[in-house]
Homo-oligomer: A and B are copies of this chain.
Amino acid sequence: MGKKVSIDDIAKSLGVSKTLVSLVLNDKGDKHGISPETQKRVKAKIKELNYQPNVLARGFRMGKTNTIGLLVSDISNRFYSRIARSIEDLAWNHGYTVVICSTDEDINKENEQIRLLRDRKLDGLIISTSQDTSELFDKLVEAGLPHVLIDRTFEGMRSLNVSVDNFAGGRMAARHLLHQGYRKIAVFGITPDHISTINDRINGFLSALAEEGVSVPPHWLIKTPFAEMDKTIKEKLQQFYQAGSMPEAIFTLNNNLTSACMLNLRKLSIEIPRQVAIMGFDDVSFFSFTRPSISVIAQPIERISEVAFDLLLRQIEGSKISEKEKSVKLPVDIIIRESTIKS
């Protein structure tokens, strides 16, 4: 590998200043009155010597890295890996690379990661947060660090955010189950207690049930820590089963819960939907060919990514963002498959 060619080499070999070369390089030649011929000469030399700008030097000087960060609870969760893929594509098309961090629903880890990424002068952050307050993000807003929250948000926060209408999603799920004639319904969610998506889904669900005079008994409203999901679900299902008080239907609040539920019902040889119906939140391609296939509330993953990236980019570039755009709520869809159909 030959020595790296620098801007200085170009300048010297042409007998001009490096200021000039830099100007041409950044398409500011015209603005600064560099003659067209000189510009042409410089450009030719750049090609000839195969000059590649030193991105680090530039980043150092400009305080810009053309890199954004994506923080999610777990990149191997199918929902987030699809978000990641969409964002990565968008970023690539705009000359950005993306750094990915999994927070494990751990507030401290998330804090540390954000600190690290700030130190590294990433240009912006897209975050599905595990925080319990908006404090940190208020700080980020004050510090002027471009960022947008996806998936989970807080009431009245100042950071830009794009989420889906989880409340409506919960309602859709409830109305469908009611319509199918289910009344005895359990709900499986995850802790910590402050995750907005989970709560909105629950609230929407309960509100629609309440309208028909149906309620979920407290011991059927189950939240489990992320790490113990499988164990909890197994225990609870076993409990229900052995006590002979199986719910008629279960609403699982994310794709992992849905999977874990399916797996354990399977192990107990409980038939779906004959003995218990399953309605999930989040779609995953597999859910369409399991037997039975699984009814879900599906989120518009591409759209979330697009809106979030667009907002982030506009912040980075410093363009105006209207109040209306600062908090976007996207609609969800219900996909009715076999797991909820009463025979």
Contacts and interface: CB of A to CB of B under 8 A. Distances in A.
A58 to B, nearest CB: 9
A119 B60 contact: no
A266 B291 contact: yes
A143 B116 CA distance: 29
A74 B88 CA distance: 10
A117 B52 CA distance: 12
Contact of A74 (B85, B92, B116, B262): B85
B67 A99 contact: yes
B92 A85 contact: no
B75 A81 contact: yes
A99 B101 contact: no
Interface stretch (A39-47, A190-198, A204-212, A281-289): A281-289
A263 B100 CA distance: 31
Contacts of A97: 99, 101, 116-117, 120
Interface residues of A, number: 51
A99 B91 CA distance: 12
A143 B3 CA distance: 11
B88 A75 contact: yes
Nearest to A290: B290
Nearest to A76: B85
A55 B56 CA distance: 10
20 contacts: A52-B119, A53-B119, A54-B60, A55-B121, A56-B56, A56-B63, A75-B81, A76-B78, A76-B81, A81-B84, A84-B100, A97-B101, A98-B100, A99-B99, A99-B100, A100-B100, A262-B289, A263-B285, A286-B286, A290-B290
Given A57-B60, A67-B99, A75-B85, 18 more contacts: A52-B119, A56-B63, A56-B65, A60-B60, A67-B120, A75-B75, A75-B88, A76-B78, A78-B81, A88-B101, A92-B113, A98-B99, A99-B100, A259-B289, A262-B289, A263-B289, A266-B293, A289-B290
9 cross-chain pairs, A with B, having the tightest CB-CB distances, nearest first: A291-B291, A81-B81, A76-B85, A263-B289, A60-B60, A286-B286, A1-B143, A56-B60, A266-B289
